[in-house]
Every structure is written in C-alpha cells, then in structure tokens.
Amino acid sequence: DQQVKQNSPSLSVQEGRISILNCDYTNSMFDYFLWYKKYPAEGPTFLISISSIKDKNEDGRFTVFLNKSAKHLSLHIVPSQPGDSAVYFCAASSGGSNYKLTFGKGTLLTVNP
C-alpha cells in the first residue's frame, strides 16, 4: 500500500515557465513533508520542507503548498530553468520527526531551453 503517491512519472516544461509537481498521501499521521531533488548517479539532495501547521513555505524559486484536508501537496518552481531537470521525490514523516521518511516514486522533470 503506497502511502505517498506521485502520480505523474514525468513532466516537461519550457524554460521560464512554472513547473508544478504534485504529491498525494494517505496516512493522516504524516505531519512533516519534504521534497528532494536527484540528478543521475548522485544521491538525493534536500530542496524544501513544510510542517503540517503551515500551508505554504517558500524558498527562492521554490514554493511548497500543503492542503491537509485533501492530503495533497505540490511543489512550484518559478521560473523553471534547465538545471532544474532532475527527478523530484516527495517524502513524508510522522510524529514530528524527520526520520523514517516514506518516499514517493518520483517525478522526472525536464525543462526545455
């Protein structure tokens, strides 16, 4: 039973436009959510996180939105750049801790020049 779902395996956008990556979760105990970015042959790198007490968190070009009632979060990248092309993983944890992360399967973002 997949508790964190990223239903779009891939997404392609034009440079300068907005990229929106979506993530749904089923476990209502999850209270901390993270996005990681992964380039080929490298380990994932942390991008941005959000606690369940918030509904939005911004860091430069990256914004994460959380809709608790819908059990849905999204990552917005504005403007998208070719260097943003990577696999993006959504992850979640419970109990106010950041360990025992549950990851989604990832979405491959391609930003075309």
Partner 1 sequence: NAGVTQTPKFQVLKTGQSMTLQCAQDMNHNSMYWYRQDPGMGLRLIYYSASEGTTDKGEVPNGYNVSRLNKREFSLRLESAAPSQTSVYFCASSEGPYVGGEQYFGPGTRLTVT
Chain positions contacting partner 1, by CB under 8 A: 4, 6, 9, 32, 34, 36, 41-46, 49, 51, 89, 91, 96-106
Q: How far is the CB of 14 from partner 1 (least distance, A)?
A: 26
Give the integer Cα–Cα distance in Å for 63 and 68.
16
Cβ-count burial 43-54 (b if 16+ within 10 Å, e if not)? ebeebbbbebee
Q: Which is nearer to partner 1, 15 or 31 (CB)?
A: 31
Q: Which is nearer to partner 1, 28 or 97 (CB)?
A: 97
Q: Which is nearer to partner 1, 15 or 52 (CB)?
A: 52
